[in-house]
């Protein structure tokens, strides 16, 4: 988690705080929304974030639905976050089956891997990871000819 401070027109609540989950991907849709712009509908990849304007205006207390998934793979590390659950692999070599599972609501410091205690959740999150990385075009090093994990 990281703090973010926002001030300006359309942000009526001075000194308000929220624990709403937002990502860096929400910045571009927010700026487009504020500017009254639009994102191209074809010829480019779809924008992944959501506008923060309703949250900033105080008309909602969340940006993303509970089913929203954030997925990332970079430099041999990967993660998927959905709701209270986070699936993560930080130590090389990368192996999908070895991704750790955390309940970030109960354990925000990610200190207790819950794979053994929550095997069904781990399996569901791993299946979601696989479908999301396919949807997003994430290619693992092991899938590239001569690549390593």
Q: What is the pLDDT of residues 59-112, one digit of tens each?
A: 898 999 989 999 999 888 999 999 999 999 988 778 888 899 999 999 999 999
Mean pLDDT of 39-46: 87
pLDDT in the model for residue 10: 76
Residue with the larger pLDDT of the pair 42 and 16: 42
Residues ≥6 apart with Cβ < 8 Å to 67: 82, 83
Domain(s) of CATH 3.30.1120.10: residues in the chain: 69-143
Q: What are phi and psi of 103, to 5 degrees?
A: -95, 95
Could you tell me if 71 and 132 are in contact, meaning their C-beta atoms sit under 8 angstroms apart?
Answer: yes
Q: Please state which CATH class domain 69-143 belongs to.
A: alpha beta
**pLDDT > 60? residue 3:** yes
Could you tell me if 81 and 57 are in contact, meaning their C-beta atoms sit under 8 angstroms apart?
Answer: no
CA distance to 1, 10, 30, 45, 68, per residue, from 42 (Å)? 33, 30, 20, 8, 23
Name the average pLDDT for the chain.
88
Residue with tokens 């309703």: 54
Q: How confident is the model at residue 46 (pLDDT cuts 50, 70, 90)?
A: confident
How far apart CA 25 and CA 22 sit, in angstroms, is 8
């Amino acid at each position: 988690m990281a703090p973010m401070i926002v001030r300006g027109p359309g942000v009526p609540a001075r000194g308000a705080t929220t624990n709403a989950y937002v990502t860096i991907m929400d910045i571009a849709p927010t700026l487009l929304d504020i500017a009254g712009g639009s994102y191209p509908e074809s010829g480019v990849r779809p924008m992944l974030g959501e506008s923060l304007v309703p949250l900033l205006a105080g008309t909602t207390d969340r940006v993303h639905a509970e089913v929203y998934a954030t997925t990332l793979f970079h430099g041999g590390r990967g993660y998927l976050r959905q709701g209270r659950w986070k699936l993560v692999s930080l130590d090389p070599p990368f192996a999908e089956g070895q991704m750790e599972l955390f309940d970030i609501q109960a354990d925000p410091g990610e200190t207790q891997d819950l794979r053994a205690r929550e095997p069904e959740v781990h399996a569901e999150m791993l299946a979601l990871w696989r479908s999301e990385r396919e949807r997003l075009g994430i290619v693992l090093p092991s899938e590239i000819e001569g690549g390593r994990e």
